[in-house]
Structure 1
């Protein structure tokens, strides 16, 4: 276990299309979290994704409304960034962790309610010192838990990130009911078969294909997980790894292997699915 003194200073990216807002947030952060390093600033959503990919910060502050991509859309792309070379099994996979996400919003309570339920935190514009301090304390607990390999004490369990982002998108565009994928057109041997999405136990991607697994059929599609995430119902499918979506109703249980990794057992299928460190919060207390 590393002590705080041994840990590198936390790093952040700020993204807001208003320079004055970035300046104000940077100044407030310097007051409440002087150890935090602001490694880059973005003026729009596309730039934010590129800078997060380049710097791999611990935290990203995203304005909800930005040109190019909204903060929610930028967060979706950030959640799907590929791991750095050398991360993953058998390596120090800190680089494979998603950054903590803090949304900067000028919206009223209708949007704030969605944030209160989620893995992301929020700060209302203009960033007030006392409210920002609450956010900083939450983020510090989560970062400490990452270093210690445990769950953040005092932080409530969080739903899947993609589910939160779908919820936020709906709150910000009321009246637009999402239309989720109902059927999968997949290759089964030499034939094309239509598979009801609700019958799928899990999706697993490799470099070229995504495997669609039901209790009876194993099929292949060319659609990557990063696209499927936005097309399937996030209440039915949880992302547990950058390459894996699992049907919540098909989860038989979650255990830990000898390395402490969470492993999902699936009803009606012998395969075990690994939960990457970025998604361990889905199964608190395991």
Structure 2
């Protein structure tokens, strides 16, 4: 029975990926889900999985270094950043998935893993094409609604807000929970249309009505047609320095 390890410092993302892998590849056994590079190396040495799905930016030792140190395991990188793709393939990675990973992209990765064998030039070219396509800004969000899946256009999102475990994508009349953390969502958004204004908030420029300062100099964003008032932290105040 094939086995896999999933390493990510966000346990909710590891759990979601494990669930989807199990759904699309029932024979695959998930043997460990470590949260940092040191734990990952230890679990790789102990469990000896066939495959390792590694985040790149992890505490301790990053995923690229883990891949260099690991042996007898086929590596798939799962990350929000496309900038490390060349380094990833220098470690003989089999695939490179950009978060948020679509079902179609994940199934193509599984098909590649099931073929076994070393990566070919054709595999590398196919993955490079996928990375180029996946690196384009997100146009749709896939959200769960009870037992169904719904597509939400990125054009309808007024702002994203971090919660304890998830991220809320807020439209004019609804709040949708998505599992992707803000730090991994931000690189996939069009920077001409969205900006991070607080550690826990990303806002659509088109949704901003006005930015006001209180007596203490703190900035607050008021939205068009929505009663939410969003904080602007000092680190991002320069975005509105002309106001």
TM range (shorter): 0.3 to 0.5
The two structures have a TM-score, normalised by structure 1, of: 0.39
The two structures have a TM-score, normalised by structure 2, of: 0.46
